[in-house]
Amino acid sequence: MQDARIRLASAALVSVAAFTSTWGALAVFLWWLVFSPRLQRMKNRMVILGMIVLISAVALLIWISGGDGFSYFLRMGVIVLIGSWLYTEQEPGDFLSVSVWALGRRTGFDLGMIGECAMQHAESLSRDLVRIQIATKLKGEAWGVRNLVPAGFILIHDALVRADDMSEILAVRGYHKGGVLCPGFQRCHWDWVAGICAICAFFFAIIPVSEFFILYQ
Amino acid sequence: MKIVLNHLHVQRGAWSLVAHGTFEEGIHLVSGAVGSGKSTLALAMAGLLTPVRGTVEREDTKSLMLSTQFPEFHITGLSVADECGSWGLDFKTVIRSAKLEIDGDASPLTLSRGELKRLHLACVLARQYDLLLLDEPFSSLDCTEKERLCRELSGRDSGITIIFTHEQSIFPRVDQLWEITGGELCALGRTPESLTRWQHAPVLVKKLIAAGRCPRNLTPGDIREAACRTHE
């Protein structure tokens, strides 16, 4: 999906739809199958797999305690897939462009820049974790649970240092508030189709369709 | 003991590097301009980067270590003592060999880049590896530390040591010279014969060769000897 505005709006709508009901989650899963590149371009597959395993464990506990574990698994699993799709499709500058387009050069620029910084930090954290795992492997240690605490501290420290550096650079370059940006978006017909289908999935999830059919009968 | 690059082809976006050759026991210097692909080649040789084509075959190399350009990439411990421990080393021995005056409880993340590099190199060089890959080992070091590192490296008498660097002033004893030019790794041969073929040779070495005083090797002592030589 090329247009970042349609992509972000669609992601928001289908996330709400998937969270609202099991049928909504099924509709969003179909939407994901049709409009995303599915597993082909998915980034951080191991992280996604880990999250699915975690969701499965929680769903199993819910099911054992008498709750609807299947519904939980389906809804959360689909939300993870949508999040992964959004992360994969995201291009640098998308947040800034959409935010400036929606909220203007003052608030929009600031919020967009915060979003961009957050995405950049997420990428950096992911890279840092990989290099800590490589360093551990080079030292002849196996990566395990006991590495998580020091790795977590190092990741947080690095993220804080990076944030500090970033704020200094922005201050040195004269940033105070807001900024000028002329956002440009590319789109194709398929973007519109995906967006309209996301709206349909959203309404399908929030409107009690089964009750409508009971009334009709 | 050797490492064979069999028509290795590594790629990052539009950039690519081709490498073919055999690295045997001794000290190898891989030279090249910034961005020529030295770090990428080091990663591929360590098995941390999957090549597009070709293979890296390591024969009889039971232990391997890659020291990357950035020492912070190796930190896995929360304190300096923990960090030394993660290498299986005693903290006091390491800081003595690195000639550092730091507290064992200090976080390695609070050390300066130079201090961290010295600590990291002291940990790396405290152990004997069959294959030691050093990516820009001289970066962040002052001249005194560079010379000390060169003396330590020159003293390595077993295993394969490969130094990837664009350093132009201070070198250890080098057995074999390699150069990356135009996206290809070229084997220049053994020193001192290979020095005349070295495109990225330091200006001083080039001038000495032009004056007919080819140094016997690249150590500061060899360069001094060539510069002071009055006749061949």
- Confidence check: pLDDT of B182 > 70: yes
Q: Which residue of B has its CA nearest to A131?
A: B73
Q: Which of B64, B66, B75 to mutate: most A Cβ within 10 Å?
A: B75
- Cβ B81 vs Cβ B91: under 8 Å: yes
Model pTM score:
0.79
The top-scoring range by mean pLDDT among A118-122, B5-9, B94-98, B108-112 is B5-9
Class of domain B2-63+128-228: alpha beta
Alpha helices in chain A (DSSP H): 4-20, 22-35, 45-64, 69-89, 94-103, 109-138, 148-172, 189-206, 209-216
Q: What confidence tens digit (pLDDT) does each residue in B158-180 have?
A: 899 999 999 999 999 999 999 99
| Residues within 8 A of A (CB atoms), B 53-82 only | 64-66, 72-78, 82
A107 shares contact with chain B (CB less than 8 Å): no
Q: What confidence tens digit (pLDDT) does each residue in A89-126 have?
A: 888 899 999 999 999 989 999 999 999 998 888 888 88
The span from the CA of A69 to the CA of A62, in Å, is: 5
Q: Is the ipTM beyond the 0.85 threshold?
A: no
Q: What confidence tens digit (pLDDT) does each residue in A20-66 have?
A: 999 999 999 999 999 988 777 777 778 888 899 999 999 999 999 99
| Lowest mean pLDDT segment, chosen from A10-19, A125-134, B180-189 | A125-134
Question: What residue segments make up the domains of chain B, in order of their start?
Answer: 2-63+128-228
Facing residue for B65 by CB, picked from A138, A150, A151 = A138
| Closest by Cα among A69, A54, A57 to A22 | A69
Q: What is the domain range of residue A189?
A: 4-216
The span from the CA of B96 to the CA of B88, in Å, is: 16
Domain count, chain A: 1
| Lowest mean pLDDT segment, chosen from A57-66, A144-153, B79-88, B202-211 | A144-153
Residues 6+ apart with CB under 8 A from A173: none
C-beta atoms of A150 and B65 within 8 A: no
Mean pLDDT, chain B, rounded, equals 93
B48 shares contact with chain A (CB less than 8 Å): yes
